[in-house]
Amino acid sequence: ERKAVGLGDGVYLLYWDATKQRARIKTYDPGFYFPVLPEDGDGSDYPERVHFAWELPEDPKRGLKPRLRRITYELDWIQPATASGVDRAGRAVRAPLLTEPDDGTDPAPLLNIGDQVDGTSIARDYPWNDRPVYRTCYLTDATWELGDLTGPVDVDSLPLDKATYATDASGEVLDRLDLYIDFIPVVHVPNTVPPAEEHWGQSSLAKALQVFDELQGTDTDSSRASATTGSPIIGLSGKAASGRSQLAVAPGMVFELGENGRMDTVDTAPQLAELRNHRADLSDRAANVVRLPAVAIGTMDPSKMPSGYALQLSLGPLDSLVSGMRLARAHKDTLLLRFVTRLHMAGQHPDWADVRPMPALIARGPYTPTDKAAVLEQVTQGVEAGVMSLETGVRMLSEAGFPIDDIDQEIKQIESRAFAAAKDLADALGNVDAVAEFLDRKAPETEEVPAVQLPPIPADAAEADAADPLQDGDDDEA
């Protein structure tokens, strides 16, 4: 984030660490980031080839000349299997693997595990896709001596025949090494939303660079003026001062002036005050340009604000600035978490064997002080009045800075003690199991109610009913 805010862009690189059995992240300086953007396409599209390149200084102790290192991630069609080997010049390269058929036919290329031939292409099933994919990501880590780079070459067209390929910890030569993923694990984070068809962001300080330059010049002038103000320039005239071109002034020094002698001083205090006022104006201008109000950078006392609403209005430019920066990072944060999930699935981590990728996001907290008491009162009144759900209220408390680790677990703990609400639920549904599930408790085991057995009818009453069967229905007829 420091690089993204200060330089305009930030770059994340994700990779699977087989030793630690987890995905790891590395950041690069945006000056080393060279995406190959389509010439006739949209610059905001995700590039299919990304280079990281920088110069390596000369190392006389190891006998190494100045070099250029380039790490490349490229999406390309799936190729047959390769293995580490050496070429005729003794360089470490990757060579294709061939099968040795028993029928005497020519050797055929060997496919990687899980690959299958689909017509003229090779398809692969990734655990996060529902259909076969025909592309994969290749990694290349090569180094060139600067003396070998002659002619019109750029970072994307370096001569491969003069490259020296690196080898990773497992002994694999990094010459188009198949990473078994169908994406480039690089996330470019612009500081601002790029313009249409653009790829790069803008630094938060870019618009105020001229003001900062003027501030630097004003500070230099103020330093010079303060030197002459603290040690003023004194001019002596008179008989005693004749013959001396320069005198040193020190505290307690007494000058003897002759007849008509005079001492004059050059007062530079007004110029110093004016420079300080000019510096304050430049500071306010820089704060306005970068949309940082004085109350946000601490140069204004918040207690002097007439009301909290006025304080909130003064933070309007900062709200706009942070909203734009978060908008530029929203999609990149989602992409980052998606890559982490897929790297764990591609690394065949035991905990991710039967896991399906789910959408995830990074929720950023408040960047200004929050009145927790006011938020708590608002949530309490809203939930009690029934105009706000408990889920929304707990989420508001979490965003306000209350120590809530898991929103769902917090809601379960609140509902497990809501006996009044459970009583209303029981009256509404009459279902003991639903009430127990609401309280996150086990329903009590109740015995089955026996059927009602009526006492036997006396014999004389049965004979009377048989003699007059309409006796019970006389009232109905009437």
**DSSP-derived secondary structure for 398-437:** HHHT---S-HHHHHHHHHTT-HHHHHHHHHHH--HHHHHH
- Segment 425-445 mean pLDDT: 72
Helix axes 269-289, 209-230, angle to 10 degrees: 160
pLDDT on residue 230: 72
pLDDT on residue 469: 55
- Segment 286-308 mean pLDDT: 74
The residues with which 64 forms a beta bridge, in sequence order, are 59
Residue 312, H or E segment: helix 308-314
- Segment 360-373 mean pLDDT: 79
Q: Which of 12, 11, 14, 9 is nearest to 137 (CA)?
A: 14
pLDDT on residue 413: 82
pLDDT on residue 79: 92
Please indicate whether residue 55 or residue 196 has the higher confidence score (pLDDT): 55
pLDDT on residue 468: 60
Lowest mean pLDDT among 47-61, 235-249, 434-448: 235-249
pLDDT at residue 57 tops 70: yes
Residue 324, H or E segment: helix 316-346
As a whole number of angstroms, the distance between CA 76 and CA 56 comes to: 29
Rounded to 5 degrees, what are φ and ψ at 187?
-120, 115
- Segment 377-403 mean pLDDT: 87
Lowest mean pLDDT among 28-42, 167-181, 368-382, 410-424: 410-424
Name the amino acid, one letter, at 389.
S
How far, in whole angstroms, is CA 363 from its chain's centroid? 10
As a whole number of angstroms, the distance between CA 30 and CA 284 comes to: 30
pLDDT at residue 131 tops 80: yes
pLDDT at residue 337 tops 50: yes
pLDDT at residue 177 tops 90: yes
Asked if residues 371 and 399 have their Cβ atoms less than 8 Å apart, the reply is no
pLDDT at residue 100 tops 50: yes
Whole-angstrom CA distances from 413 to 394, 404, 417 are 12, 12, 7
Whole-angstrom CA distances from 262 to 248, 251, 255, 303, 403 are 17, 19, 10, 53, 74
pLDDT at residue 462 tops 70: no
Place of tokens 């169908």: 182
Q: Which long-range contacts (CB under 8 A, 24 or more apart) does 146-150 make?
A: 146/55, 146/65, 146/66, 146/67, 146/68, 147/65, 147/66, 149/68
pLDDT on residue 460: 67
* Average pLDDT value for the chain: 82
As a whole number of angstroms, the distance between CA 22 and CA 344 comes to: 7
The residues with which 115 forms a beta bridge, in sequence order, are 124
- Segment 81-89 mean pLDDT: 89
Rounded to 5 degrees, what are φ and ψ at 472?
-75, -20
% residues pLDDT > 90 (the chain): 25
pLDDT on residue 83: 92
pLDDT on residue 429: 74
Asked if residues 246 and 234 have their Cβ atoms less than 8 Å apart, the reply is no
The HSE-up count of residue 66 (CA atoms within 13 Å, CB side) is: 7
As a whole number of angstroms, the distance between CA 346 and CA 365 comes to: 32
The residues with which 124 forms a beta bridge, in sequence order, are 115, 133
As a whole number of angstroms, the distance between CA 127 and CA 280 comes to: 60
Rounded to 5 degrees, what are φ and ψ at 156?
-95, -10
pLDDT at residue 103 tops 70: no
The residues with which 266 forms a beta bridge, in sequence order, are 233
Residue 289, H or E segment: helix 269-289
% residues pLDDT > 70 (the chain): 85
As a whole number of angstroms, the distance between CA 181 and CA 114 comes to: 13
Residue ranges per structural domain of the chain:
48-183, 206-231+266-289, 372-438
Name the amino acid, one letter, at 49.
R
Lowest mean pLDDT among 13-22, 53-62, 349-358, 388-397: 349-358
**DSSP-derived secondary structure for 233-281:** EEEEESTTTTT-S-----TT------TT-EEEEE--HHHHHHHHHHHHH
pLDDT at residue 27 tops 50: yes
Rounded to 5 degrees, what are φ and ψ at 443?
-65, 140
How far, in whole angstroms, is CA 41 from its chain's centroid? 27
Q: Which of 21, 86, 1, 50 is nearest to 332 (CA)?
A: 1
pLDDT on residue 104: 67
Q: What is the biggest distance separating any 2 CA atoms in the chain, rounded to whole angstroms?
A: 161
Please indicate whether residue 229 or residue 391 has the higher confidence score (pLDDT): 391
pLDDT on residue 437: 74
- Segment 224-234 mean pLDDT: 75
* 336: three-class secondary structure by DSSP: helix
Predicted structure pTM score: 0.72
pLDDT at residue 32 tops 50: yes
Q: Which of the four pLDDT bands, split at 50, 70 and 90, describes residue 477?
A: very low
